[in-house]
């Protein structure tokens, strides 16, 4: 009877030894690969030195997807060339062999387009890694362009779209309200709008579209037509049709380019009828990465570190529509591994995330953020995201969760990153809970990207040069090594068919990120002033949103006008 047990133990021992052997082999192979890569990089560095060129280790260089547009992917692949830095018309490229015919041809092509090209030599493996990254990014761009390209033949540019909408006010008189609402939704999607605003006035109803964060007037419609459209909006979004004197919220969906688009609806009463804002909830095929959102340099490094924390509270701050939730989704995407249990508490659930448990609050039934978070924590999550910290009860529960080994992600409304600390204090959260629980604060705004098709690079005015110099002086005072030179030229917008005559296409983030280090924790515990907190954050290398904006203007990604528009306070 004992013999089978002995055999079983022998087999288990053999199996354990086999697994140990396999793990050792994996570690050995990984070590050999690392040694080979280091040898290859050293060899490439020497080769670059012999040719009198700079060397670049692409494996350790953050790559910006925006630079992909400078060179077509197939050209980059054939020429073994990777653009990895740009300021205005000055770009830096990494090449495998600067003497290769295809490489020379690609460099000549860039110079013919007016670029000043600085060449660095990269290893074979570095080029391969970068090409893989750019290949994946290229596929993403193609998917996005495919979606946005739907229906271009029918209307085309934004100017034509608006003209068509003007005619649509007459067409709405001849079709059903259901057809009219669907036509308005689809047309708005073709312009790249994120929202439709229906605004009744005394004699007419104005319909406006928010494109890249800025409202544009689309059309006017008669009150008798709007009466039917508003009823259709309420019916589709399951609002109470007979209630017109109090605000209501709802949701509906429609199909665009073979995709189901969710619409979040909000209504408020006005003297001339109900006003509606319809927000399109367009989820990406793949969650966005930090670099594609616009995070760069120190901000990018700080976010990468955030994704590796074991506990603590991470807060994204800014006004409505500043991309806070998108940033938190990007963090969740990085943290969402088979080993982690991720649960979100949202109002409402806007985008489905594979592998994440998402719960929608219902305040009418007592399921608010505070109660929901307590219930969520009983589900044993590693990572919890709640849509917003609105009150002391929610803040206390979130802080306690962070102190007991959880990662808590949430949003808050403050003007800057460091102002989050006094905001939490004012809510009633004691400093002895804030200091140990708070890990990182991300404050952000969104600016429009310049259109790559029609924007031009023009010289700065004297006042603009002074603004850049002030930014440099501020950064020099804190001994920060991310100082930029005053660019010779900056982007100016014009407008073309590709950008719907707006001069802009897409948006990117301006961010300031504060990591709560030991000095800041001590200041919080001592109830120090906001001025002292700012000084400590600057000492630790804080770059303000306005300064981040100037860096991106210097790179030709946006304009000074956009930076001024969204950062209404000067950098400290």
Q: What is the pLDDT of residues 440-490, one digit of tens each?
A: 999 999 999 999 888 888 888 888 888 888 887 777 766 555 556 788 888
The pLDDT value recorded for residue 263 is 92
Which residue ranges does the chain devote to CATH 3.30.300.160?
A: 54-148
For 341-380, what is each residue's pLDDT tens digit? 999 998 877 777 888 998 988 877 888 888 888 888 889 8
Which residue ranges does the chain devote to CATH 3.30.450.90?
A: 158-281
For 213-234, what is each residue's pLDDT tens digit? 888 888 889 999 999 999 999 9
Asked whether residue 145 carries a pLDDT value surpassing 70, the answer given is no
Query: Which of 52-66, 73-87, 170-184 is predicted with the least confidence, judged by mean pLDDT?
Result: 52-66
The pLDDT value recorded for residue 466 is 85
Asked whether residue 311 carries a pLDDT value surpassing 60, the answer given is yes
Burial label for 349, CB within 10 Å (0-12, 13-18, 19+), is middle
Please enumerate in sequence order all residues whose Cβ is within 8 A of that of 448, keeping only pairs 6 or more positions apart, or say none: 212, 213, 214, 502, 504, 505, 506, 507, 558, 562
Q: pLDDT band at 17, cuts 50/70/90?
A: low
- Write down the pTM of the prediction: 0.65
> Would you identify the CATH topology of the domain 290-566?
Rossmann fold (3.40.50)
Decide yes or no: CATH 3.30.70.260 for domain 54-148: no
Which residue ranges does the chain devote to CATH 3.40.50.300?
A: 290-566
The pLDDT value recorded for residue 497 is 77
Per-position DSSP letters for 462-522, written without gaps between them? HHHHHHHHHHHHHHHHTT-TT--PPPSEEEE----TTTTTSSEEEEEEEEEEEE--HHHHH
Decide yes or no: CATH 3.40.1280.10 for domain 158-281: no
As given in the structure block, the two tokens for residue 455 are 């924007």
């Amino acid at each position: 009877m004992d013999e089978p047990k002995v055999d079983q133990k022998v087999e288990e021992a053999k199996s354990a030894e086999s697994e140990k052997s396999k793990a050792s082999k994996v570690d050995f192979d990984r070590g050999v690969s690392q040694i080979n890569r280091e040898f290859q990089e050293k060899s490439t560095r020497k080769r670059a030195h012999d040719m009198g060129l700079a060397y670049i280790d692409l494996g350790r260089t953050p790559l910006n997807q925006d630079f992909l547009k400078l060179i077509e992917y197939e050209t980059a692949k054939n020429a073994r060339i990777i653009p990895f830095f740009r300021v205005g018309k000055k770009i830096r490229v990494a090449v495998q062999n600067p003497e290769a015919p295809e490489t020379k041809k690609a460099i000549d092509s860039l110079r013919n387009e007016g670029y000043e090209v600085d060449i660095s030599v990269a290893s074979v493996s570095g080029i391969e890694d970068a090409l893989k990254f750019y290949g994946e990014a290229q596929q993403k761009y193609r998917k996005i362009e495919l979606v946005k390209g739907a229906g271009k033949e029918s209307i085309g540019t934004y100017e034509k779209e608006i003209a068509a909408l003007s005619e649509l006010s007459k067409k709405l008189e001849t079709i059903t309200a259901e057809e009219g609402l669907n036509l308005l939704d689809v047309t708005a999607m073709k312009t790249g709008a994120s929202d439709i605003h229906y605004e009744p006035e005394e004699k007419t109803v104005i319909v406006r579209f928010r494109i890249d964060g800025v409202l544009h007037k689309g059309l006017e419609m008669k009150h008798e037509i709007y009466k039917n459209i508003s009823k259709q909006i309420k019916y589709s979004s399951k609002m109470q049709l007979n209630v017109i004197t109090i605000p209501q919220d709802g949701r509906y969906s429609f199909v665009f380019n073979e995709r189901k688009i969710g619409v979040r609806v909000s209504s408020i009463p006005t003297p001339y009828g109900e006003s509606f804002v319809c927000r399109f909830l367009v989820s990406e095929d793949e969650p966005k990465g930090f670099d594609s959102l616009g995070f760069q340099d120190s901000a990018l490094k700080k976010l990468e570190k955030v994704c590796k924390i074991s506990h603590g509270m991470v807060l994204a701050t800014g006004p409505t529509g500043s991309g806070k939730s998108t940033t938190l989704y990007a963090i969740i995407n990085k943290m969402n591994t088979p080993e982690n249990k991720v649960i979100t508490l949202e109002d409402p659930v806007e985008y489905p995330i594979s592998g994440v448990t998402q719960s929608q609050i219902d305040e009418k039934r007592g399921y608010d953020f505070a109660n929901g978070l307590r219930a969520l924590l009983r589900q044993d999550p590693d990572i919890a995201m709640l849509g917003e910290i609105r009150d002391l009860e929610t803040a206390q529960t979130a802080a306690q969760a962070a102190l007991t080994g959880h990662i808590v992600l949430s949003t808050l409304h403050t003007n800057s990153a460091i102002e989050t600390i006094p905001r939490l204090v004012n809510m009633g959260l004691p400093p002895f809970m804030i200091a140990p629980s708070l890990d990182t604060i991300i404050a952000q705004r969104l600016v429009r990207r310049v259109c790559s098709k029609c924007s031009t690079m023009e010289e700065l005015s004297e006042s603009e040069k002074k603004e850049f110099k002030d930014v440099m002086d501020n950064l020099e005072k804190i001994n920060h090594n991310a100082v930029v030179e005053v660019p010779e030229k900056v982007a100016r917008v014009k407008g073309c068919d590709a950008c719907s005559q707006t001069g802009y296409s897409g948006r990117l983030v301006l961010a300031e990120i504060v990591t709560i280090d030991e000095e800041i924790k001590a200041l919080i515990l001592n109830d120090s002033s906001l001025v002292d907190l700012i000084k400590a954050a600057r000492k630790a290398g804080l770059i303000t949103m306005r300064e981040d904006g100037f860096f991106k203007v210097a790179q030709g990604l946006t304009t000074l006008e956009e930076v001024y528009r969204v950062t209404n306070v000067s950098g400290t």
